[in-house]
Structure 1
Amino acid sequence: MTDNVIELRGVSRRYDSGPPALADVSLTVAAGEAVAILGPSGSGKSTLLNLVAGLDKPDDGEVLVAGQRVDTLGEAGAAKYRRRTIGMVFQFFNLLDDLTVFDNVVLPSQLAGAGRADARRRATDLLTNLDIARYAQTYPGRLSGGQRQRVAVARALMNRPALLLADEPTGALDSASGADVSRLLSELHADGQTIVLVTHDPALAESCATRTVEIVDGRITADTAVGAAR
């Protein structure tokens, strides 16, 4: 597929009188790509992700995701956009500890107004496909880090998002669990899921991305096909 899921057009973001967090960034991500955003702390990676997620707005430029202008959305519109268009996976899982695994996963579809029966079928299918169905009635605090991240991925995929955003998804995991999540992301990409991954870890980018974008001081300094880098 060649249609772009993400288009950033001359995007800049400033938070104070210092250097911009992002400076005139233009970037496209095609449907079916898995793109890793690399860079040191403070380089602008998280700012870029927040703009794509509609959690922040640029001072200049345009942000389009799945053909929709995200930067012009109000608070309610941005919330609806996140429910319908993107799934998000975080470093520290952000699961609700007082809900079971099943209830954590099914929650996004309930918020989106899906029918109860359809939502339960979708959640069951995801838990089965991600090999965590046996934990459906378990609370997140009783799971390992790798298992919790699988639950977080299932939750992110619940509403069939056009785009999966992952912010340091292995940053809080041990090496074995991190490798497990890396394989999972690779499998999702092989199934056609468009993924944008923010990471400090070049090995993670190499293992599950088809393209790496490096950001330094708010500017893109390299944009490389992973196969070409090997």
Structure 2
Amino acid sequence: MTTPVIELRDVSRRYDEGPPALRDVSLTVHAGEAVAVLGPSGSGKSTMLNLIAGLDRPDTGTVTVAGKRVDGLGEAASARYRRAEIGMVFQFFNLLDDLTVTDNIVLPAQLAGMARGEASRRAAELLDTLGITRHARAYPGRLSGGERQRVAVARALMNRPALLLADEPTGALDTASGEDVSALLTELNADGQTIVVVTHDLALARSCTRRTIQLVDGRIAGDVVAEPEPTR
């Protein structure tokens, strides 16, 4: 068995005096898996995502991603870790409106110190793969929601991350654009990309992942792997 991409061991996190956001959570995700983390507001989904991304630290337990202990990293090391190992896609895109599509996509490579020529080639490859080459010189504000989310996915994949984290990636999209993004995530996973989708949308989870983690009150209440559909 290969080294897990994600390994949480007995992780707990509490904020202020309220109940724990996560309670003794253990979870393993291997390379090539597509996993949906489901649950209502307050179930611990966002806390889990932030811990995996190194944006927060657990009170107890360990968080290991791509072989690296994330829970003990300092601020600068956490930033380097995210640039190298994590791609993040958000509900509201988080694109910079004063930069072109290409400049938005290249930004993570610039921050990581990638050579300009290599970054340009990688951006062109992603623009082509994601079907948005015609928008390379456009500004995000001129694009549809689905197109902007494709740009956000391209940016997230720029540094070839071990893990793609998608936080409610279709939450701000209409039905057709949401289905388009769901299909894109399915294609990326089929090509080997490890993906974790954090969502409350069961339909999204079913369409682009095979494994679903159900969180309730900070605990894992279910961990189900769907059987593959029979070939015809």
Which digits, 9 at most, give the CA deviation of each residue in 1:149-183, with x for residues without a partner? 00000000000000000000000000000000000
Q: Identity across aligned pairs (percent)?
A: 74
With normalisation by structure 1, the TM-score equals 0.98
Which digits, 9 at most, give the CA deviation of each residue in 1:52-79, with x for residues without a partner? 0000000000000001000000000000
* Residue 214 of structure 1: how far off its partner (Å): 0.2
Residue 220 to residue 158, structure 1, CA distance change in 2 (3 Å): same
Q: Which residue of 1 aligns with 2:83?
A: 83
Q: Which residue of 2 aligns with 1:24?
A: 24
* Residue 228 of structure 1: how far off its partner (Å): 7.7
The secondary structure found in structure 2 opposite 1:220 is strand
* Residue 130 of structure 1: how far off its partner (Å): 0.2
Q: Which residue of 1 aligns with 2:93?
A: 93
Does residue 73 of the first structure (1) align with residue 88 of the second (2)? no
Q: Which residue of 2 aligns with 1:213?
A: 213
Structure 1 runs (4+) greater than 3 angstroms displaced: none
**Is the contact between residue 3 and residue 67 of structure 2 (CA under 8 Å) also seen in structure 1?**
no
* Residue 227 of structure 1: how far off its partner (Å): 2.4
Q: How far apart in 2 are the matches of 1:38 and 1:26?
A: 16
Does residue 44 of the first structure (1) align with residue 36 of the second (2)? no
The alignment's C-alpha RMSD in Å is 1.1
The alignment covers a number of residue pairs equal to: 229
For 1:25, the aligned partner's letter is V
With normalisation by structure 2, the TM-score equals 0.97
**Is the contact between residue 91 and residue 171 of structure 2 (CA under 8 Å) also seen in structure 1?**
yes
The secondary structure found in structure 2 opposite 1:57 is coil
Which digits, 9 at most, give the CA deviation of each residue in 1:68-118, with x for residues without a partner? 000000000000000000100000000000000000000100100000000
Q: How far apart in 1 are the matches of 2:138 and 2:106?
A: 14
The secondary structure found in structure 2 opposite 1:227 is coil
Does residue 203 of the first structure (1) align with residue 203 of the second (2)? yes
Q: Which residue of 2 aligns with 1:132?
A: 132
Q: How far apart in 2 are the matches of 1:108 and 1:179?
A: 27
The secondary structure found in structure 2 opposite 1:64 is strand
* Residue 210 of structure 1: how far off its partner (Å): 1.5
Q: Which residue of 1 aligns with 2:33?
A: 33
* Residue 29 of structure 1: how far off its partner (Å): 0.3
* Residue 18 of structure 1: how far off its partner (Å): 1.5
Q: Which residue of 2 aligns with 1:56?
A: 56
* Residue 2 of structure 1: how far off its partner (Å): 3.6
* Residue 226 of structure 1: how far off its partner (Å): 2.3
Q: How far apart in 2 are the matches of 1:186 and 1:159?
A: 20
For 1:167, the aligned partner's letter is D
Which digits, 9 at most, give the CA deviation of each residue in 1:28-57, with x for residues without a partner? 000000000000011000000000000000
